[in-house]
């Protein structure tokens, strides 16, 4: 059942991409600083989407690593505090 749903969604997505590409075949000129080039509108939109996905993934992974590092540091600090507390209790006995 889930295989059929996945197949239907995949074919629908491919169909939408084909329709989008056919409707956006016009050539547009892109100017950025000193560069200028002509490309199809559909390719330009897909390229910008891909760049956005990559940038978002990089930002997310950097943020995730920083959070994980902070969590591990807090965990290590707790372990040290627990060890110090248990050592102090064993010294008192």
- DSSP letters for the chain: -HHHHHHHHHHHHHHHHHHHHHHT--EEEEEETTEEEEEEHHHHHHHHHHHHHHHHHHHHHHHHHHHHHHHHHHHHHHHHHHHHHHHHHHHH-
pTM more than 0.85 = no
- Model confidence over 6-29: pLDDT tens digits? 899 999 999 998 898 888 889 999
Instruction: Read off the pLDDT band of 81 (50, 70, 90).
Output: confident
């Amino acid at each position: 059942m889930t295989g059929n749903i996945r197949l239907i969604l995949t074919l629908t997505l491919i169909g939408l991409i084909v329709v989008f590409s056919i409707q956006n075949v016009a050539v547009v000129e892109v100017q950025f600083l000193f560069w200028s080039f002509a490309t199809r509108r559909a390719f330009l939109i897909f390229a910008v989407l891909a760049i956005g996905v990559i940038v978002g993934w990089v930002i997310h992974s950097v943020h995730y690593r920083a959070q994980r590092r902070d969590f591990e540091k807090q965990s290590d600090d707790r372990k040290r505090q627990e060890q110090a507390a248990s050592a102090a209790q064993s010294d008192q006995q």
